[in-house]
Structures are given as structure tokens and as C-alpha cells.
Chain A
């Protein structure tokens, strides 16, 4: 699916560039180009994933290459949801460049993985469910992260009365807070079910639901932090700066969870 992914990459780079330009110049025409390019890229990307699934015979979420591609797809879907619901393009200028980078790396990495191990793992439906749910959770937490960063920036402008170019381009505090709150709820739900499905799958494989593996530890830490955040938010109508900082910190944990296995070994290394 090389040529298809290259087309996807082309669409994403156009979308990313126009999104950043639209943010800086505030021109609607640029925003429209970005949206159209993104839609084209997303449709092609979906087609590529489905084609991979059918042609290779297994769910396209295994190994670094497929994970990065799927993650990029998830981020686009998350951004599209935010755009649809809240009508604010600002997140695009942060999200789309990352999507582009992920897709570039995915294209450059050669396909790998022990075919036997791969088919063995994917034979049960629980594994793909587990990984997909977690990836969707990461997408949601990324939205929380970006919204939190923008909230902190905008709140700073208003508190310190600086009013730089950023002030004129970021959305309102309320919008950013709403995005972060909703994404948090979605993310935590997905993470909970994702971890649970992982435990189920693992117990069917070797009877254990816990291996003291770095990825598992980070995942639970992440879950605890976001649980703390959601409880903190629920104690008042509004939680401003502190909640935003927690949203940023949570994403650091998400990164550790995502990269933990690859960097630190343990049970969760699957090719």
C-alpha cells in the first residue's frame, strides 16, 4: 500500500501547511484548503488501512509502522470530531503537523514483525480490540493535551494583559475548557475498557492479568492521573489552570505508556 500511503502523505502535508498558515494569517480560504486536503487524506488513509487488513489478512495494528499509521489516522479522526462539534480550527495547527510526522515515519519504516507471532496474536479478536481502544484513548488524551496547552496560553494572556498575536488567534477559554473536559471523559472511558480488555486477553493467554511490565505500570499510572483529574474537575463547575496542567502532565504519562515497552522491554514487546 506504498503508493496509497504516499498520496495520503501528500494530502496531509498540504493540510498541515495550510492549517498553520490559516492560524497565523487568519484567512478563511486557507482553512478551507486545509479541510479539503485533510478530508481527502483521511479517506485515502482509511482505504489504505482497510486494504492492508484485507490483503495482509490481519488487523493493521501490529508493530511500530502500523501503530504509527493507525495513530495518525486516530488523531485526524479526533481533530475532525473537535472541528465538527466546536467549530474551532486552532487545534489543527498543532495536530496536523504531528499527523504528518507520524505518517512520514510510518512510510519510512520497513514492514516488519514475525509473521507467525503476528498471526498468532491477531487470531483472537481481543488483542485488536485492546490495542485499538488504547490508541483511541491516546487520541483523546492528545486532544486534552492540546486544549490544555492552548487554555494555559490564553489564560496567561488574559491574566497578564499581554495580548500578543496569540491572543487574537486562540479560541475562548470556555471552548477550550469544554473540549478538554469532554475529551477527558471519552479518553478515560476508552482507557478503562482498553486496559480491561487487555487484562482479559492476557488471562486467556497465560492466566495472568498483571506482569509488572513497564507498559502496564505506566498505563495504570496514566489511568490514575486522569481519574484524579476527572474527580478534581467534578468538584466545581470550573477548574482552570491546575486542571490544565494536569492535562499536560497526563500526556507525558501517555507518552511513557506508549513508548514504554519499546524502550524498556518487558512483557509487552511483540515485534
Chain B
């Protein structure tokens, strides 16, 4: 059996086309039942996310070309697309390349942001739909389970998901570079805004103890304070809280600097010079950039955060190289295990064939033996079968050992020698 994968992703098709192709959960199940005919396409699975729509199948070895075409037609017809729309956008992978592709996809190496965590869950979901629809057979199941193992290996053995690539998580990552552990630290939030809120949430999850929120509108400050387990502080008390805040996140919409360099200097001095980390995600900036000149004070505006993100992405890409090596070696291992899987039945088939030969010869020569009692008949049959079994016993053992050792080549050789059909 061959593995065939056909689909589009964010690199080959624009979002307008991808959204036309997208499959809902029900459409997936229905589509799979239509696509898998048992003759050409024997097993199937559909992965449909905002970044890709891919159909993974196990196709009969001698019908690969027909299978690919069938899948392409299926995609066009089932989604009601005009003909030839996606012809140039589809990619088509067979066997090794298909296995490599699904391994890479699940390990987030093919995603828009390498290392993103959602895609593995999406592949899991696709597999469970295929199981329900009854189109995930032996080959696809073995492949998908191996895929999960590869994704786990990549995640654990490389750092592709180690660094933050979102602005809101930057507060945690940079905070850790300055303070080490964030446990027991204090955060001051100036203004409200989704990004700042999200940052504060991440910080709380990372162990920050105190969260103070300053906002011109008392209500939103109170609401957020409650959600985060913090305290709302009135704006005129800002300078009181600056010295105690280790991290200050500013996302206000003011027109001047809410924290001046002088205020920061005073705060640092009252903190006995312990480091202070300022994040300014407002545009125009509400924290005086001169704060960065004060010893032990670090201020990051939105451009600075973007530049950390670029640096992190470069790190991820470096880690991705290592991940590709892991994928390469796992592809080879999978192909090996697939061949062994298909070859297991050979051992039984060989034994069966030898016994069939014995019985056939017995039947041919039967007439020469004249009348026999049932016991004699039985004895002759046993004689033949036990002779055949004794002859083939060492061979069976050898084949079983090869099967257990994953040595597909030997088994294939014996199949040829004994002329076993596929």
C-alpha cells in the first residue's frame, strides 16, 4: 500500500481559497466516507485548519496515480469549487515524502510560526474524526501514532517552542532574564488594554504575587483587579507604587509621559537600586525612554519587543534545523516499520502454502495407495504435514526472528524464493 497526501497550505494558496476548501467536522466525516472506496483509496484522513486543508490516504500500491487524481477531484467536487481552481495550488506527496510532510506538519515545522502549539491538537482531532467515520485503518493509524511520537520528540528535544513570539508573553520572558524567578515579584499596570491585560495574566501564571492596576476609569481597574487577584490604585498614587513595582506595564492612551525619568530615578533610589523593568506598549509612548539611561532600569517600547521577537524567531529557526534531522530519522524508521507490518502475514502464508503443497501431493498420489483405513489416512496426512513442518521449521524461526528484528529485506527475499503472491 502507498501513502498519498494531497492538499493546500498557507504557502501555496491564499486565504480566500483555503476558506472555500475548509471542511467542518461533519463535512469531514461525510467526505471521508465518499472518498474512501476500499479499492483505490483504502483509508483516509482530512486535516482542515485555517492554514491548511490536506487529505492523507492509504492507497493501493498499483493505483497511486489514480488515487491522487481521485483525491483532487474529491476536493473540488465536495466543496463545490469551480473546476481547475485549485489544480495549480495542490501539492501531492507519495510514500516517504507524504510521511515526512505529516511529521513536519504535526511538529509545527510547516506552520506560519514554527513551534506553535495548536497544530498537534488539530491533527489529533482529524484522526478521531477519521476513526469515527471508519476510514482510519491499520496503515493510517500506525502512521498517526508514529506522528504523535515524532511531534513529542521534536517538542522535547529541540527548543522550537522555547522562546516567546508574542508581545504579551514578552513580559514573562524578559522578566525572567532580569529577575530569574518571577515568584514574589510585583507588577504595576498603567492603563488597560488587551495586550497589557494578557501580559499581566501571563505574569500571574508565572508566579507574580502582587498586581496593581492604575486607570483613569476606576471601574475597569476594579474589574481587572478582581480578575487577576490584584488591587486597583488611583492615578494620583502612581509615584507611591513605582518604588515597589518590579515590573511596570504601560498601555495608556495619554499624550504625555506618565512616568518621567525623574520619577523613575526617584523610584530606583527608593528601591535601593533593585532592577526595574518597564514595558511601554502605548503609541505614542507614555514612558520616558530616558529611563533606559538609569542604571538597573530597563525600558522596552513596542519596537524593542518586536526586535526580541525577531531574535526569538531566528532561534526557533535554528532549532528547526535540528528538528528536521529528527524528522528525517523518524521517516526512515516509519518506512521500515511499515514494511515489517505488511510482511507479517507472509510467515503464515508461507506455512500455509507448504502445507497446501503437501495436501495436493497427497491427493494426487492417493489413488496409488488403494483402500486405507481412516487411521491409515490420518497417519499418512500426519506424516506428510509433520515432514513439511520439520523441513520448514528452521525457516519459520528465521523469518520470525527477522520479523521481530524489523528486517524486512530477508522476509521479502524468502517470499520471492517461495513465490508467494502479494
Question: A: which residues have CB within 8 A of B?
Answer: 26-27, 154, 158-159, 161, 163-165, 167-168, 171-175, 178, 236-242
Further contacts, 9 of them, CB under 8 A, given A26-B159, A173-B179, A237-B274: A165-B315, A167-B177, A172-B179, A174-B178, A174-B181, A178-B180, A237-B271, A238-B272, A238-B273
Which residues of chain A are near B180, meaning CB under 8 Å? 171-175, 178
Q: Is the beta-carbon distance between B308 and A168 smaller than 8 angstroms? A: no
Q: Is the beta-carbon distance between A173 and B178 smaller than 8 angstroms? A: yes
Q: How far is the CA of A165 from the CA of B311 in the complex (A)?
A: 8
Nearest CB in chain B to that of A242: its residue: B295
Nearest CB in chain B to that of A157: its residue: B177
Can you offer 15 A-B residue contacts whose CB atoms are under 8 A? A158-B177, A158-B178, A159-B298, A161-B300, A161-B307, A163-B308, A167-B177, A172-B180, A173-B179, A237-B273, A237-B274, A238-B273, A238-B274, A238-B275, A242-B295
CB distance from B154 to the nearest CB of A (A): 14
Q: In chain B, residues 291-342, which have Cβ atoms closer than 8 Å to a Cβ of chain A?
A: 292, 295-296, 298, 300, 304, 307-308, 311-312, 315
Q: How far is the CA of A197 from the CA of B176 in the complex (A)?
A: 43
* Interface residues of B, count at CB 8 A: 26
B222 within 8 A of A: no
Q: Is the beta-carbon distance between B311 and A172 smaller than 8 angstroms? A: no
Q: How far is the CA of A172 from the CA of B181 in the complex (A)?
A: 9
CB distance from B184 to the nearest CB of A (A): 12
Q: In chain B, residues 98-152, which have Cβ atoms closer than 8 Å to a Cβ of chain A?
A: none
Q: How far is the CA of A5 from the CA of B177 in the complex (A)?
A: 40
Which residues of chain A are near B163, meaning CB under 8 Å? 168
Q: Is the beta-carbon distance between A236 and B272 smaller than 8 angstroms? A: yes
Question: Given contacts A154-B177, A173-B177, A241-B295, is CB(A163)–CB(B311) below 8 Å?
Answer: yes
Which residues of chain B are near A178, meaning CB under 8 Å? 180
Nearest CB in chain B to that of A175: its residue: B180
Nearest CB in chain B to that of A169: its residue: B315
Nearest CB in chain B to that of A86: its residue: B180
Which residues of chain B are near A27, meaning CB under 8 Å? 157
CB within 8 Å: A-B pair count: 60
CB distance from A241 to the nearest CB of B (A): 6
Nearest CB in chain B to that of A172: its residue: B180
Which residues of chain A are near B292, meaning CB under 8 Å? 159
Which residues of chain A are near B174, meaning CB under 8 Å? 158
CB distance from A249 to the nearest CB of B (A): 18
Q: Is the beta-carbon distance between A172 and B315 smaller than 8 angstroms? A: no
CB distance from B156 to the nearest CB of A (A): 9
Nearest CB in chain B to that of A160: its residue: B292
Which residues of chain B are near A171, meaning CB under 8 Å? 180
Nearest CB in chain B to that of A165: its residue: B315
Q: How far is the CA of A220 from the CA of B79 in the complex (A)?
A: 85
Q: How far is the CA of A158 from the CA of B178 in the complex (A)?
A: 9
Top 5 closest pairs, chain A to chain B, by CB: A237-B272, A163-B311, A174-B180, A172-B180, A236-B273
Q: How far is the CA of A174 from the CA of B295 in the complex (A)?
A: 14
Nearest CB in chain A to that of B300: its residue: A161
CB distance from A170 to the nearest CB of B (A): 8
Name A172's contact: one of B176, B273, B296 (CB within 8 Å): B176
CB distance from B185 to the nearest CB of A (A): 10
Q: Is the beta-carbon distance between B295 and A240 smaller than 8 angstroms? A: yes
Q: How far is the CA of A168 from the CA of B319 in the complex (A)?
A: 12
Q: How far is the CA of A174 from the CA of B307 in the complex (A)?
A: 23
Q: Which of B159, B174, B180, B298 has the most CB of A within 10 A?
A: B180
Q: How far is the CA of A5 from the CA of B300 in the complex (A)?
A: 51
Which residues of chain B are near A172, meaning CB under 8 Å? 176-180
Q: How far is the CA of A163 from the CA of B163 in the complex (A)?
A: 12
- What 1/0 flags go to B268-286 for Cβ under 8 Å of A? 0001111100000000000
Which residues of chain B are near A159, meaning CB under 8 Å? 292, 298
Q: In chain B, residues 144-191, which have Cβ atoms closer than 8 Å to a Cβ of chain A?
A: 157, 159, 163, 174, 176-181
Q: Is the beta-carbon distance between A168 and B274 smaller than 8 angstroms? A: no
Question: Given contacts A158-B298, A238-B296, A240-B296, is CB(A168)–CB(B273) below 8 Å?
Answer: no
Which residues of chain B are near A173, meaning CB under 8 Å? 177-180, 275
Q: How far is the CA of A178 from the CA of B271 in the complex (A)?
A: 17
Q: How far is the CA of A214 from the CA of B163 in the complex (A)?
A: 51
Q: How far is the CA of A240 from the CA of B271 in the complex (A)?
A: 14
Q: How far is the CA of A168 from the CA of B174 in the complex (A)?
A: 10
Q: Is the beta-carbon distance between A168 and B315 smaller than 8 angstroms? A: yes
Which residues of chain B are near A236, meaning CB under 8 Å? 272-273
Nearest CB in chain A to that of B175: its residue: A172
Q: Which of B176, B300, B311 has the most CB of A within 10 A?
A: B311
Nearest CB in chain A to that of B310: its residue: A163
Which residues of chain B are near A163, meaning CB under 8 Å? 307-308, 311
Q: How far is the CA of A238 from the CA of B180 in the complex (A)?
A: 15
Q: How far is the CA of A168 from the CA of B318 in the complex (A)?
A: 12
Which residues of chain A are near B157, meaning CB under 8 Å? 27
Q: How far is the CA of A38 from the CA of B325 in the complex (A)?
A: 29
CB distance from B162 to the nearest CB of A (A): 8
Nearest CB in chain B to that of A161: its residue: B304
Which residues of chain A are near B179, meaning CB under 8 Å? 172-174
Q: How far is the CA of A242 from the CA of B295 in the complex (A)?
A: 9
Which residues of chain A are near B178, meaning CB under 8 Å? 158, 172-174
